[in-house]
Amino acid sequence: MTDGLIPPGKYFMQGNIACAEAALIAGCRFFAGYPITPSNEIAQWMSYRLPQVGGHFIQMEDEIASIMAIIGASNAGVKSMTATSGPGFSLMQENIGFGMMIETPCVIVNVQRGGPSTGIPTLVGQGDMMQARWGSHGDYEAIAYVPNSVQEFFDLTIKAFNAAEEYRQPVIVLADQTIGHMYGPLVVPPHEEIKIVNRKLPNVPPGVPDFKPFDAKYEVAPMALAGMGYRIHVTGLTHDEKGYPYYTHEVSTWCVKHLVSKIRNNAEKIWEVERFTLDDADIVVITYGITSRPAYQAVKVARSEGIKAGMLRLITVWPFPEEVVRKVSEQAKVILVPEINMGQMIHPIREVAECLVIGLSWAPGAVQTPDVILDAIRSVSR
Amino acid sequence: MVRWDISLFGFGGQGIIRGGQILGEAAVLEEGKDAALSIAYGPEQVGGWSRADVVISDEQIDFPLVVKPDVLIVMSQEGLDRSWKEGRIPRKQLIYDSGLVDVSTVKGIKMVGLPATKIAEQLGRRIIANIVVLGAFSEVTGIVKHESLLKVIRRRFPKAIELNEKAFMEGVRHARGGGAVV
């Protein structure tokens, strides 16, 4: 191994392990978590691998402590991650908001299982799509990536770290039990070809008077780390550029607008989608994650039957690629939205679509077979 | 596109999932194919049911899960019974451990049985029954070549190469005879 990182090459690997190896390549050197199926292999592998690369792993007492530990570690300058599933993700919500408020880069991987509550721990679900966007109270803009293969779980974990560093905020990877537990081909590129982003640090020395850790002149302010000598204060309270609580509507306006604008202004840069036989499609299936896998096959069979079907796959669900979806809807007659939930991403799609949008809700516990989606395509094509 | 849906079904401790990993790894790393392995098991660590579903294709796999296998390998009676109950009846081929599975109720399917666990015991290690079965699978179906599987096996078990090779070739030999009913 070079530097203790996974060597470039081809592997046949489990999704969760690929995620952990990707985190290490991205520079993650701290993991705090609490065991939960079906994300456990990530924590297990990190506990084994982090000491080999000079990092640290802590099993915390719960998920509330886990998210706080990674926020703390990141504020000390260490790229940090946690991994969980539905119930743990629920527990983390308050402090995901804290991470947003104090602008702390970190990555939260949610390997989704069936819910609500304890739900169906060992089986697949996509029920946390909206929670990833609106789970914590107050205004913020989430970034969430949704992988549909082992390779993409690897690639998007690195991208999640990069986005977290670039925009100084928690970033979510919304995997699911099937992708997490599945083994598939993984190509690890030469490390020097992998883009790694690191947060900007202040370009003034510690001790300068009037130093502002949340300086409004930046879209994303350079991050003064604990221990570097800067006089900094972080708080979950509405704060000014210096980081101190300040309770006026004016400061609140700046603070909240700043948090949402840094993402809204860059949304088109963050958006990622895959277009599959979309060019002349009048029936468009919009998918994300594992649900795209049966959809590829359904769309191919539909095409072979002469139906003009295509698929738009959302790789980033948040920020929601609304312009892309709106454009696709201009040429489509119908949009079908298969999800492993009772209808979540159908809502932002409906909000922007200019054609009929039909949800194909599906209870957690199994992935739709291609036939389920194909039948829907056939029935709307008539 | 040639796509094979394969299901290995047995109980925890038989190396069912390890068998699936070897199969997928051989297809991907040694033969340049695409493969997807998904695993399912009962709540018990050892002794509960355990299943490995492997999809192998010479093109990129769209849907990575097995709905109905082309080839079913069963190493426990529960494996056979559950597969039939859940409608996961193999389209093309059944391979079974003849010492552990009674197939007298199965009709109209190509079958090869071999006493994989007994063979493994005779070789001195019961836990290599999965390797015996992989030898039989390769011989009967040709979906993954002998040498591809042996390469992965050698890489994965560097301290027991000879024993595992012997187990694999015993599986091949029994399957070549159409599956000796011992």
Q: For the residues of A202-260, what is the DSSP string, one character each?
A: -SS-TT-TT--TT-TTSSSPPPPPTTSS------SS-B-TTS-B--SHHHHHHHHHHHH
pLDDT digits (tens), chain A, 382 positions: 458 999 999 999 999 999 999 999 999 999 999 999 999 999 999 999 999 999 999 999 999 999 999 999 999 999 999 999 999 999 999 999 999 999 999 999 999 999 999 999 999 999 999 999 999 999 999 999 999 999 999 999 999 999 999 999 999 999 999 999 999 999 999 999 999 999 999 999 999 988 999 999 999 999 999 999 999 999 999 999 999 999 999 999 999 999 999 999 999 999 999 999 999 999 999 999 999 999 999 999 999 999 999 999 999 999 999 999 999 999 999 999 999 999 999 999 999 999 999 999 999 999 999 999 999 999 999 8
Query: What is the rounded distance in angstroms from the CA atom of residue A247 to the CA atom of residue A2?
Result: 51
Residue A223 is assigned to a structural domain of this protein: no
The domain tally of chain A equals 2
The torsion defined by the Cα of A59, A63, A66 and A72, in degrees rounded to 10, comes to -160
Give yes or no: residues A60 and A163 share one domain: yes
Chain A residues near residue B38 by CB distance under 8 angstroms: 178, 181-183
In chain B, what are the domains? 3-176 (3.40.920.10)
Which CATH number does the domain housing residue A139 bear?
A: 3.40.50.970
Phi, psi values for residue A153, rounded to 5°: -60, -40
The predicted-structure confidence for A132-172, as pLDDT tens digits, reads as follows 999 999 999 999 999 999 999 999 999 999 999 999 999 99
Q: State the greatest distance between any 2 C-alpha atoms of chain B, in Å, as a whole number.
A: 42
Question: Strand, coil or helix: what is A328?
Answer: helix
Alpha-helical regions (H) of chain B: 16-25, 77-85, 116-123, 129-141, 146-156, 161-176
CB-nearest to B21 from A122, A183, A369 is: A183
CATH number at residue A292: 3.40.50.920
Q: How far apart are the C-alpha atoms of A373 and A76, rounded to whole Å?
A: 48
Cα-based torsion angle of the residue sequence A95, A100, A105, A107 in order, rounded to the nearest 10 degrees? 50
Could you say which of A193, A212, A242 is where a domain stops?
A193
Closest CA of chain B from A36, distance in Å: 14
Q: Say which DSSP state A41 is in.
A: H
A300 with B35: Cβ contact below 8 A:
no
Distances (CA, A) of A368 to A115, A294, A295, B182: 17, 7, 9, 42
Q: Is A213 within the bounds of a domain?
A: no
Residue B1: the pLDDT is: 73
Q: Encoding tokens for residue B67?
A: 């709905």
Q: Is residue B91 classed as helix, strand or coil in its secondary structure?
A: coil
In a domain, A21, yes or no: yes
pLDDT for B84 beyond 90: yes
Comparing C-alpha atoms, which of B55, B1, B51, B45 is closest to residue B23?
A: B55
Check residue B181 and give its pLDDT. 43
Average pLDDT over residues B50-63: 97
Q: Does B90 reach chain A within 8 Å, measured CB to CB?
A: no
pLDDT tens string B168-181:
999 999 999 765 44
Judged by CB atoms closer than 8 Å, whether chains meet at B24 and A12 is answered as yes
Tokens representing A309 are: 């079907």
Distances (CA, A) of B103 to A90, A247, B10: 48, 76, 15
Token output for B124:
């001195």
Facing A297 at nearest CB: one of B28, B38, B63: B63
Domain end marker among A193, A227, A254: A193
For residue B28, name the pLDDT band (cuts at 50, 70, 90). Answer: very high
Note whether residue A224 is domain-resident: no
A353 contacts: CB under 8 Å, gap ≥ 6: A325, A326, A329, A332, A335
Rg, C-alpha atoms of chain A: 21
What secondary structure does DSSP assign to A143-194, as a single string? -EE---SHHHHHHHHHHHHHHHHHHTSEEEEEEEHHHHH-EEEEEE--GGGS
Question: Is residue B145's pLDDT more than 50?
Answer: yes
CB A255 within 8 A of CB A281: no
How far is the C-alpha of A232 from the C-alpha of A226, rounded, in Å? Answer: 8
Residues of A with CB below 8 A from B35's CB? Answer: 12, 183-185
**Residue listed under structure tokens 């993991």:** A31
Could you list the residue range(s) of the whole structural domain that residue A22 is in? 9-193
A200 is a domain residue: no
Choose among A182, A293, A300: nearest Cβ to B37.
Answer: A182
Q: Which residues contact A284 (CB under 8 A, 6 or more apart)?
A: A278, A309, A310, A311, A312, A328, A329, A332, A334, A335, A336
Give the gap in angstroms from C-alpha A225 to the nearest C-alpha of chain B: 43
Beta bridge mates, A110: A84, A174
* pLDDT at residue number B178: 66
Cβ neighbours of A297 in B, within 8 Å: 62-63
Q: What is the mean pLDDT of chain B?
A: 94
Distance from CA of A120 to the nearest CA of B (A): 12
Overall average pLDDT of the B44-66 stretch: 92
